[in-house]
Structure 1
Amino acid sequence: MTMAPAVPQLAPLFDVVVELGSPHDLGVTRVGHRRIVPILGGTITGAVDAQILPGGADWQRLRADGAIEIDGRYSARTAQGEHLYLQVNGVRSGAPSVLAALGRGEEVSPMEYYFRTSVTVETSSPGLTYLQDTLLVASCVREHSSVRYTAYRVA
């Protein structure tokens, strides 16, 4: 008898608002057009509540087609002093005019572009280690000076 694998389901786990600084454009490097966006702070709410700490960044690579490859890394701390390290990888793509509007900081409906990521979490907190043992994906929204997303557990 052959058993079929489980069909993945998505369950919302937590919401994130990441406050962003002005991008640092490094120009074209050996791996492509590089930009670094500082992370100034933010919040995580839901299955875990935490404050995003300043000092992280999104090390972006801008592709020739206008899409952006996301490589965000930042830390957060709960009210109990537990620390989390989050790494977010993904892509933001869409029509050139839409991506240009986002680049200018204009409000654009998230239905007009694709912005999806995977999220990994590291922690030394015994009560939060379950976050390290699950696959998380996110649907993201770019706002003028922030990124907002919901992280979903792939069940």
Structure 2
Amino acid sequence: MSTPLFDDLPTPLKSVQTRPLFVIRLDVKPIVIVGETPGSFRRVGIVPSGTFAGERLSGKVLDGGADWQTVRGDASTTLDVRLILQTDDGVNIMMAYRGLRHGPADVIQRLEKGEDVDPASYYFRINPMFEAPTGKYDWLNRIIAVGTGHRFANGPVYSVFEVL
């Protein structure tokens, strides 16, 4: 992008820098269909387990998470997810994220049937936020994260990055 306003910005405002936080893989039970509601088509993915691994924290996803999905009129799916991460050293951390998934109709249809598709053929992004107790992981309370995802038949995998 090159406009007079952009060109006049200090260098730190001209790009976004990230560093890897972790990769997380979620197991999701078969989707529960709520159906058409006054606002949209609703469905829920129950998350009984998963794992995450990174340089600064790794562990498992505890049973009890859920992905409240809205399929919008433009065929995009919005995600509203709440999970409890348990680190390898036993610390419980709440992770919540909103997300957006969309792509060509044929790709999304194949994806929702559980077929293998190229992750580059559709858009799937999330923005996690964390609530960690005081101690070793409380730095998570003071960061913004972004992630890029891919859906497999039994659940998604995300590469999550800290925004610096």
Superposed pair shares fold, TM > 0.5: yes
- How many residues end up aligned between the 2 structures? 154
What SS does structure 2 have at the residue aligned with 1:131? helix
Q: Out of 4, 11, 14, which is 2:10 matched to?
A: 4
Q: Which moved more, 1:2-11 or 1:19-28?
A: 2-11
Q: Give distance in 1, aligned partners of 2:134 and 2:93.
A: 8
Where in structure 2 are the equivalents of 1:7-26 lying within 5 Å? 7-26=15-34
What amino acid does structure 2 have at the position aligned with 1:39?
A: V
Aligned to 1:93: 102
Higher strand proportion (structure 1 or 2) = 1
> How far does residue 132 in structure 1 lie from its aligned partner after superposition?
1.3
> How far does residue 59 in structure 1 lie from its aligned partner after superposition?
0.1
Aligned to 2:72: 63
Aligned to 2:5: none
Aligned to 2:81: 72
> How far does residue 136 in structure 1 lie from its aligned partner after superposition?
0.2
Do the aligned residues in 2 keep the contact of 1:83 with 1:125 (CA within 8 Å)? no
With structure 1 as the length reference, what TM-score do the two structures score?
0.94
What amino acid does structure 2 have at the position aligned with 1:14?
A: F
With structure 2 as the length reference, what TM-score do the two structures score?
0.89
Q: Give distance in 2, aligned partners of 1:3 and 1:106.
A: 45
What SS does structure 2 have at the residue aligned with 1:127? coil
Aligned to 1:27: 35
RMSD, aligned α-carbons: 1.4
Q: Out of 31, 49, 55, which is 2:58 matched to?
A: 49
Percent pairwise identity? 28
Do the aligned residues in 2 keep the contact of 1:21 with 1:39 (CA within 8 Å)? yes
What amino acid does structure 1 have at the position aligned with 2:127?
A: S
What amino acid does structure 2 have at the position aligned with 1:33?
A: F
What amino acid does structure 2 have at the position aligned with 1:112?
A: S
> How far does residue 3 in structure 1 lie from its aligned partner after superposition?
7.4
- Following TM superposition, the consecutive aligned residue runs of length 4 or more in structure 1 with deviations greater than 3 angstroms are none
> How far does residue 142 in structure 1 lie from its aligned partner after superposition?
0.4
Residues 82 and 125 (structure 1 numbering): CA distance in 2 closer, same or farther, change over 3 Å?
farther
Q: Give distance in 1, aligned partners of 2:39 and 2:131.
A: 27
Deviations 1:4-45 (A, max 9, x none): 262320211111001110000101113311000000100110
What amino acid does structure 1 have at the position aligned with 2:10?
A: A
What amino acid does structure 1 have at the position aligned with 2:21?
A: L
> How far does residue 90 in structure 1 lie from its aligned partner after superposition?
1.3
Larger radius of gyration: 2
> How far does residue 66 in structure 1 lie from its aligned partner after superposition?
1.6
